[in-house]
Amino acid sequence: MARRLLGEVNDMSELRELYQEVILDHNKKPRNFRVMETANHHADGHNPLCGDNVTIYLSIEDGKIADISFQGSGCAISKASASVMTTVLKGKSVADAEDLFNQFHELVTADSSEELDADHLGKLAVFSGVREFPARVKCASLAWHTVHAALAESEKPVTTE
Amino acid sequence: MTSQYDVNAIREDFPILRQRVHDLPLVYLDNAATTQKPQEVIDSIVRYYTETNANIHRGVHLLSEKATREHEDARKIVRRFLNARSTQEIIFVRGCTEAINLVADSWGADNIGPGDEILVTNMEHHSNIVPWQLLCQRLGAVLKVIPIDENGDLLMDEYVKLLGPRTKIVSVVHLSNALGTINPVHEITRLAHEAGAKVLIDGAQSVPHIAVDVQEIDCDFFAFSGHKIYGPTGIGVLYGKKELLEAMRPYQAGGDMIASVTFEETTYNALPYKFEAGTPHIAGAIALGAAIEYVERIGIAAIAAHEHDLIEYGAARLLETPGVRLIGTSANKASILSFVLEGVHPHDVGTVLDQQGVAIRTGHHCVQPVMKRFGIPATSRASLACYNTRSEIDALVDGLKKVVEIFT
C-alpha cells in the first residue's frame, strides 16, 4: 500500500527506492529487537549527526553467531538496517559476518553509476537505494559498524564519524 | 501611508530562489542554518575583487586606500546597525562562534579565577557552552545553567537564584535557534549588572529578525554572524564596551594588531585593530555592510511583522497534521518552527520533504542540551526569512501529509 501511495506523489521513484516496503516493515516491526541477557559480546553505536543510537548483542559459539539482537532508537533507515542485519547474520560464522559487513559498506557507498550485483546480497539489496541519499549512508551503516566493533571486542563506543 | 511588504519583489532580489531541486521549486526553510543572499550582496563581493581588491590599512596606493575606506565604511554601517557608541567597539571576526571564543579567551583569562561562576542557559548553542566549559576547566571556574520551562521560556526566578557574588559573566542567547524563544535580555542584563556580573549576548539568530540596540540593552558584549543576516559566510561581529576591550589582552597575534614590534618588546594597536590580526575577510566585511543596508532598506520592523504573520500561520497549519507537536511555544518567539512528528524520526521527515523541494533542518541543531531537556533525539525545524511566503508554509504542510502517508 505504501508503494502505491508513493507512486501518486510527484516523481517519487527515488524515495520509493529508499523507503521500500521491506524497509518500512522492518522499521515498524523490527526483528530481534530485545536485550540479550546471555550475550557474550556487545557494542554501542551512535550517529552524532542525528542522534541515531544502537546497541548490538551477540552470542557467539564456536565461531558462529548463535544469536543476535539489538536495541536503540533512530530513524527508519537505521532501525530497518539493524533489523534486517540481525536476520541476515543469525547463524552465520564470524568470518561470513565480516565479509557481509564489507559488502554492505560497498553497497551503500558505491558510485550510483556502478552496476549493482545484488544477487549475493539477498535481503540486503533493499538498501541499494541509500546510495542516492549520501546523507543517509551513516544511518544505514551504523548497525554494521557496531556489529563489526562488537566482533572485534572494541572498548570504545562506535560512531559513524 | 504605510508601504506594503512586497514579498514577491523581495524574492526577485534573491537569485538562488529560482533554483529547482529534484525538478521542483525550491522551498527554502532552513534560514536559521544560513540565509540566502540578495544580488546586491553578491555583486558587492564581485565588484570588490574586480575593482577594489588590495590589502588594507598600510598601503599608500589608490586601491589600498579605496579598499581600506570601503572596509571601514562597513564597520560604520555595523556600528549604526547595533547603535554602538563607537566603531572602536566593532570587531570583525569570522562569525559568532569566534566572537564568543574571543571573549572567553581574552576577557576570561584576566577576569575569571578558581571558584568563579559563569552562567549560561539550558537553550544555548554549543558555541555558547563549550568555550565556557574549556575556560572553566582551565581556570577552575564553575559553569551554571539557568533552566527553561516546557514552553522554552527562561525561568527568571531560577536565574535570580543562580546569580551571586561569584558570578562573573552571564552568557545568553538572544533568540534560540531551536525554540525561537526571545529572551528578555534587557532584564537579564540589568539583573546581572546589579550582581556585579558582565553580560554577553549571542545575537546570531536575533539580528535578522528583531531590532537590536546594544546601548539600550546595555550588554557588555554582543556577537553575531554575517551569513545569518543575508551576508556571506566567514564574517561576523563582536561588539564590546570600549573600556572592557581596552583592558583585554589580545586574542590572536600577528600583523595589524601591533603598533610596534621588536624582539625585546611589542606594543599593541588601538581598538578595534588590536583584535583583528592578519589580513581580514575584506570582501566579507564589505558584503556584510551591503547586507545590513539591504535589511535596513526593507526595515527590520517590516521583516519582523511579515515573519510574525508567517510563524502564526505556520504554527496553526502544522498542528493540522495529526501527530505533530511543536517544540518551543513561548509567547515571545520568532522565526523558528521546530516540531516532532509522532512515530517518524526527523531524519526521515527531512528526506521526504527534500524530495518535494522543501529544505528544512533535522537533528539536534547544535543544542544537544535542549533536546535532552525535552526528551527527544532531534527535531525537524523550519526557519523563516524575509523572502518566505504563506504558500511555502503550505508546501511544507503538504509535504508532511506525504510523510504521514509513507510511514503510517
- The pLDDT of residue B3 is 63
Judge if B234 and B358 occupy the same domain: no
Q: What is the pLDDT of residues B54-84, one digit of tens each?
A: 999 878 899 999 999 999 999 999 999 999 9
Residue of chain A minimizing CA distance to B345: A75
Decide if B348 and A75 are in contact by the 8 Å CB cutoff.
yes
pLDDT value at residue B58: 78
Contacts of B346 in chain A (CB under 8 A): 50, 75
Shortest alpha-carbon distance between residue A99 and chain B (Å): 29
Residues B234 and B140 reside in one and the same domain: yes
- Show which of residues 102-161 on chain A sit within 8 Å of chain B, judged by CB atoms: 133, 135-136, 139
Whether residue B145 is found in the same domain as residue B283: yes
Which of B362, B402, B405 is opposite residue A50, by nearest beta carbon? B362
Q: Edge-to-edge strands of the sheet including A52-61?
A: A64-73, A52-61, A41-47, A158-159
Q: Give the C-alpha separation, B91 to B98, whole Å.
A: 11
pLDDT greater than 60 at residue B154: yes
Neighbours of B234 (CB within 10 A): 19
Whether B366 is catalytic: yes
Tell me which chain B residues have a C-beta less than 8 angstroms from the C-beta of A14.
22, 355
- pLDDT at position B131 is 97
Contact A104, A124 (CB under 8 A): yes
How high is the pLDDT of residue B280? Answer: 96
Query: Which residues of chain A make contact with B406, given a CB cutoff of 8 A?
Result: 2, 5-6, 15, 19, 24
Residues A123 and A104: their CA atoms lie apart, in Å, by: 11
> Does the structure show a pLDDT above 50 at A49?
yes
Based on the domain organization, do B208 and B314 belong to the same domain?
A: no
Question: Number of folded domains in chain B?
Answer: 2
Q: Do B345 and A76 touch (CB under 8 A)?
A: yes
Is B2 domain-assigned?
A: no
pLDDT at B408: 80
Do residues B283 and B346 both lie within one domain?
A: no
* Same domain as B332, residue B256: no
Interval B274-322: pLDDT, tens: 999 999 999 999 999 999 999 999 999 999 999 999 999 999 999 999 9
In this structure, the answer to whether residues B114 and B135 fall within a common structural domain is: yes
A vs B, Cβ pairs < 8 A, gives 63
Chain A nearest-CA distance from B347, in A, is: 6
Q: Among A3, A8, A10, which would you mutate to test the B interface (most chain B Cβ atoms within 10 Å of its Cβ)?
A: A10
Confidence at residue B74, expressed as pLDDT on a 0 to 100 scale: 98
Domain with B189 in it: what CATH number? 3.40.640.10
Residue A114 is predicted with a pLDDT of: 62
Tell me the CATH number at B388. Answer: 3.90.1150.10
Range of the domain at B198: 42-296
Q: Which of A22-31, A40-49, B140-149 has the highest mean pLDDT?
A: B140-149
B132 pLDDT more than 90: yes
Contact B24 A10 (CB under 8 A): yes
B140 and B285, same domain (yes or no): yes
B183 and B91 housed in the same domain: yes
**Residues of chain A contacting B355 with CB distance shorter than 8 Å:** 12, 14-15
What's the pLDDT score for residue A112?
58
Where among B296, B329, B360 does a domain terminate? Answer: B296
Q: Say if residue B367 is in the same domain as residue B235.
A: no
CB B325 within 8 A of CB B147: no
**Contacts with B369 from chain A: Cβ below 8 Å:** none
d(CA B306, CA B301): 9
pLDDT for A155: 52
Domain boundaries A2-159, corresponding CATH code: 3.90.1010.10
> In this structure, are B215 and B169 located in the same domain?
yes
Assembly ipTM: 0.82
Are residues B160 and B91 part of one domain? yes
Tell me: the pLDDT tens digits for B100-119? 999 999 999 999 999 999 99
Tell whether A2 is within 8 A of chain B (Cβ): yes
Q: Which of B96, B136, B219, B366 is catalytic?
A: B366
Q: What is the pLDDT of residue B59?
A: 82
**Most confident residue range from A12-16, B78-82, B266-270, B361-365:** B78-82
Closest CA to B205 of B401, B62, B407, B361: B361
pLDDT tens-digit map of B32-57 = 999 999 999 999 999 999 999 999 98
- Is A29 an 8 Å CB contact of chain B? no
CA triple A112-A113-A119, angle to 5 deg: 75
Q: Is residue B162 part of a domain?
A: yes
**Cβ separation of A133 and B351 shorter than 8 Å?**
yes
Instruction: Answer yes or no: do B356 and A10 touch at CB < 8 A.
Output: yes
Closest CA to B209 of B304, B140, B139: B304
What pTM was computed for the model?
A: 0.92
Is residue A64 within 8 A of residue A93, CB to CB? The reply is: yes
